[in-house]
Chain A
């Protein structure tokens, strides 16, 4: 005799315990602390903060620990927490030109005012597995430069700007306040501020693939990395009741200004155009991918043909979000008995018709 499956609640509660045990792993190994994650997994932390749209190292470390290192799951945890937070106010626009730079490179000029500064990059590490890291007790001592970097490094693109060879960066007509995508639905056509916000929250892997496609003939935009800078930027607020600016702290950012070819149009002279990327922490891959996709999404504004996926607003922006994508792809494992039953009876009907037809023809 068939008995309908019961006890879903007990099974769910037991799955919590099992998950917690798997997360903890071998109890003879010391438990991971949030300080260790914050201090030694800084790039994972930055990605989770970036796609989670919340700059909070402590919570990001907690999310990573709870998610056993799964970045997408950690982003989800952080987002579900963020959504409950009240808005106390908005910061003033960040001034990345005033960044306290720790890394700054340009792919367009051999030397730039202030120089090329490699900073803590893995770019030239030769990617040999470093077996000394397998042991603990490393205490590297980086050399101090003879002279400190200047407080402010001039922006590379300003050199081209003074010659009028690159489009000026101006706010949209009337300088409208940007929309908040976490409070309002994405609608089309989306303005550039909204697009950049969407890309900033977007999954790094997805943006990387799209950006790569623009380099391989799907929306060729001849990009050059005009400037990439990483360092600390002050966050300032101006509370209405006080009327003066207060610096509330600083955050680490990576900014990418991509320079792209543009042959000009009826109204615009031949000049270079910009693609822009910005990410929390040392998120260079993300910032560069974002800059390429930002530029490809400007196709209609610049009068370019739209023929590639990376140029199509709806295609790109509807599918960037890893929390949305992960949820909808994985919801297929939920019960679909009822719809499947409906499809099953439909297929049986169609099959019966097909078999009858075959028999009649034979």
Chain B
């Protein structure tokens, strides 16, 4: 039993089916396109949607960066990068600025994206209304009628109960003024990076079998109210390694006594910053 897999693991017809879905997704920003998601050799929930999107667009002249939680060296990011190294023999990098395709779980890099770059987001639940309405039949109708009252009421109830909106990640956005969309579970800190991004943003949900996209230079608005404008997370401290006051920080517990420190979640950004500080 000796079996060779196709370039990028998926067969060419499947890649074409995916690219057709992606073209539709780009043509209707924020709309969830159902697609014939394949079973990948990684478990659902590990990024099978993102992997299929990456596999369908990647070529031998691409440079791939894979991050999980902003970091290039977390086990899942390492594993996905290794997978593409095995089945697509593609060059890989940890530098945001050098990558042509960046597959991500839960973060957008701190370094501003450029025109020509493609971000591929791994999406566990593509439907922003799912926690408010369990039925897919219902939510598809709500999108068709652009009926998003449920979400506005939810945000309003947050304000009534807590004084502010109590959603800290996977914060819903309106794409191109039409579709309510899940930005994937990125912290709301990253939401402003979606607006008028020069890069193409592709989203793949493997288990839920949906694709969607935010084309370059598209308006992306985080939901808010006039008297409760959208805001992002801030920290009292700065990164303990590079000193940045502008990046998203992870809290690290350093001993049994509960001492903690804050460091950048974006490892490439942090390393670059440390280098610059030394020079």
Instruction: Give chain A's interface residues, CB within 8 Å of chain B.
Output: 2, 4-9, 11-12, 62, 76, 79-80, 82-84, 86, 182-189, 314, 318, 323-324, 326-331, 334-339, 341-346, 349-350, 353
Query: By the criterion CB–CB under 8 Å, are B44 and A341 in contact?
Result: no
The reply to whether the CB of B34 lies closer than 8 angstroms to some CB of chain A is yes
Query: What class of interface size applies to chain B in its complex with A?
Result: 35 or more
Query: By the criterion CB–CB under 8 Å, are B76 and A334 in contact?
Result: yes
The smallest C-beta distance from A82 to any residue of chain B, in angstroms, reads 7
Query: By the criterion CB–CB under 8 Å, are A339 and B267 in contact?
Result: no
Query: By the criterion CB–CB under 8 Å, are B79 and A86 in contact?
Result: no
**Which single residue of chain B is at the shortest CB-CB distance from A78?**
B39
Residues B36-91 near A (CB distance < 8 A): 36-41, 43-46, 48, 68-71, 73-79, 82
**Which single residue of chain B is at the shortest CB-CB distance from A181?**
B36
Query: By the criterion CB–CB under 8 Å, are B169 and A327 in contact?
Result: no
Query: By the criterion CB–CB under 8 Å, are A328 and B35 in contact?
Result: no
Query: By the criterion CB–CB under 8 Å, are B41 and A186 in contact?
Result: no
Query: By the criterion CB–CB under 8 Å, are A86 and B11 in contact?
Result: yes
Of the residues A9, A185, A343, A350, contact of B209 by C-beta under 8 Å: A185
Query: By the criterion CB–CB under 8 Å, are A12 and B78 in contact?
Result: yes
Q: List 11 A-B contacts (CB under 8 A).
A: A84-B3, A185-B36, A327-B43, A330-B45, A331-B43, A331-B124, A334-B46, A334-B76, A338-B250, A339-B168, A339-B185
Q: Give the complex CA separation of A314 and B137 in angstroms.
A: 9
**Which single residue of chain A is at the shortest CB-CB distance from B76?**
A334
Query: By the criterion CB–CB under 8 Å, are B44 and A323 in contact?
Result: yes
The reply to whether the CB of B265 lies closer than 8 angstroms to some CB of chain A is yes
Q: Give the complex CA separation of A345 and B235 in angstroms.
A: 9
If over half of B's interface residues share one DSSP class (helix, strand or loop), that class is named, otherwise mixed; here it is loop
Say yes or no: A338-B106 contact (C-beta < 8 A), given A2-B254, A8-B75, A327-B44.
yes
The smallest C-beta distance from A67 to any residue of chain B, in angstroms, reads 13
Residues in A whose Cβ lies below 8 Å from that of B23: none
Of the residues B36, B164, B233, B267, contact of A183 by C-beta under 8 Å: B36
Residues in B whose Cβ lies below 8 Å from that of A345: 168, 233, 235
Q: Give the complex CA separation of A11 and B107 in angstroms.
A: 24
**Which single residue of chain A is at the shortest CB-CB distance from B161?**
A350
Interface string of B1-38 (1 = CB under 8 A from A): 10101100111000000000000000000000011111
Say yes or no: A314-B135 contact (C-beta < 8 A), given A12-B82, A331-B43, A334-B46.
yes
Residues in A whose Cβ lies below 8 Å from that of B70: 338
